[in-house]
Chains A and B, each alone.
Chain A
């Protein structure tokens, strides 16, 4: 228990700094765009309706979706930039998060800005005109000061929204306080979830109070309140950002991982091995499955672990199963040729899609293989992870065995196991390296017709790093180093309900167990 709090505190400076940097940048950009737009909109009805409508429309897009949409968009733009100007830009991480949050922050600022400026006492506005002020002088000396409390209220709302929504930047590869929440959800580390929610709520609350002080200072014309609020914000932001300044700049490696425990552990393992060489390493965690490969090919992450079956079907778009050795060989040559990506080698264990049942239940029904299952499927419920039902593996499996379940339901992996334990699901789409298989007394059903391709875990290296001897030197010892029992055990320490380890702790244990804690130079 204490360990988890300690682990949460340890990464807090980095997460908070990244979160504050993202929120402050998005809010500043939002104000910089929305305020002039509000001025234009308050003067001109032809600007007013389209801009307010546009901002409202953006607001109707769920924030997570908005963030997710920017990644492919930026990736395409970056590719265009590469062909036109010779260099692209980072499509993952800060930029998409910044753009999405900026758009998201616009509505309250715009709406309050327009209402504030248009709500200024007509007599004062006419007096300003009558005294001979230009349009700009009238704006600066009369309209903006009088509208300031209303505009400030809008900025305050935007700040609270932005800080909250910034937690959703984690899945597009931007570190934020959301890392606690996503990682915590995924590993059922409720301390992390609580910590992340509490930290982001506390941050939003403090910011709101300080902005509120400025707002009331403006309303009641008490300059000292504005100064105190402004100084509080500035000091707070600088303090939160200070870890960024001390972080080593320069060559740093980025290790990626998808959104499940095994990936987090392997990412930590690779990162610690790289750090042991003196390199500065960043981790981009919780990437979507398809996002991860594209990010690697685009050079936004330097290395991550993927699985041969996933690459075979998703990247090479193959549906056949020519066998483990052929799949590995063809992947190695095709990924190299197609994207310049290097397949460093298999780690030594397989994390295959498999169908699993509770051992007692399978025994009672006399089910050993998927072929046996097919006869009973009509009376059974299938629980799957979020991806499985839309994957070609499922289609292949269903066609090969003629599987027709009574009901098919998708869950977050951790909840899927719970559903199986509760009897809500009878069969689940398990992963063969999952520690819970042994722990929960499950059996993996055999695949006699070889409908599913092999899923050997392999290390992939981005095109930009294929000549990087430090990276290759640090990661190569992992090839063939982790047997499935070791991986299962490590996964279980993170996934179990009590006495959980963080992925970093599990990685350290795993490193000790496989006996390659010190990378060979």
Chain B
């Protein structure tokens, strides 16, 4: 579904990404994992053409990028921004309706779709009348997710979509999204720096370091003894935490 070949981006003589090659089949949920500044956002934006690569090629759905005007490609891809980027002059309902409107939907269909998405991201319907400035950071992030899903894209690109949420909502929304991904047969790429989140949600984890792929495998493969020492230490923390939690659960209770 998505095919990146020797993708490269250079900023001020420094290589921010690449050369990076990655093929993502239809229906896969991929997590791009890595520390801050390793090139995750840059890679994601090169997939839908928000950033023009300095080298290499992008193919989405088999067609090379540039074959159709970039705005048409972007309408078929849902994108959740790290900074959310809601339109401050539009209500929540209007923000969510932007994609469907661009796709030329009828008004009643847009209205019912807006309600449906507010339910999906667990926001009360009456919030739809408000401006983004009247929402908390977490609520805004959920609206960002709803807006990306509104026009029914087959591909979702998500840049730290759950970053500003409290742990419980984060887990709920993450699981809800994973269910949606499976139900609709989406292809999802999620950027995160949270190892646990990547392990629990993704089918496949691609670890980036200084713009290059350090590791690529299923959560199970990465958790098992992975040859690369950096990846091993990355996986160490969640594993130890999981073991301690498990021990706590198994241990006989005091009292």
Contact = CB atoms under 8 A, between A and B. Distances in A.
B105 interface: no
B102 interface: yes
Given A126-B50, A129-B50, A137 B85 contact: no
B48 interface: yes
Interface string A186-227: 000000000000000000000000000000000001000000
A226 to B, nearest CB: 13
A131 B88 contact: no
Given A132-B99, A133-B102, A221-B89, A127 B81 contact: yes
Interface string B73-102: 111100101011111110000000011001
Contacts of A127: 81, 84-87
Contacts of B89: 142, 145-146, 221
A499 to B, nearest CB: 62
B83 A132 contact: no
Contacts of B73: 132
Interface residues of B, number: 23
A498 to B, nearest CB: 61
Given A127-B86, A142-B87, A134 B81 contact: no
Interface string A119-130: 001011011111
Contacts of A221: 89, 131
Interface string A124-161: 10111111111001000110011000000000000000
Interface residues of A, number: 18
A146 B74 contact: no
A381 B102 CA distance: 79
A130 B87 contact: no
B80 to A, nearest CB: 9
B92 to A, nearest CB: 14
Contacts, number: 58
Interface string B204-243: 0000000000000000000000000000000000000000
A126 B89 CA distance: 15
B168 interface: no
B88 A132 contact: no
Contacts of B84: 123, 127
Interface string B40-51: 000000001010
A130 B79 contact: yes
Nearest to A120: B88
13 contacts: A121-B88, A124-B87, A127-B84, A129-B71, A129-B74, A130-B48, A131-B79, A131-B99, A132-B71, A132-B76, A137-B102, A141-B87, A141-B98
Interface of A: 121, 123-124, 126-134, 137, 141-142, 145-146, 221
Interface of B: 48, 50, 69, 71-76, 79, 81, 83-89, 98-99, 102, 131, 147
* 6 shortest interchain CB distances as A-B pairs: A127-B85, A132-B75, A123-B85, A132-B74, A123-B83, A130-B79
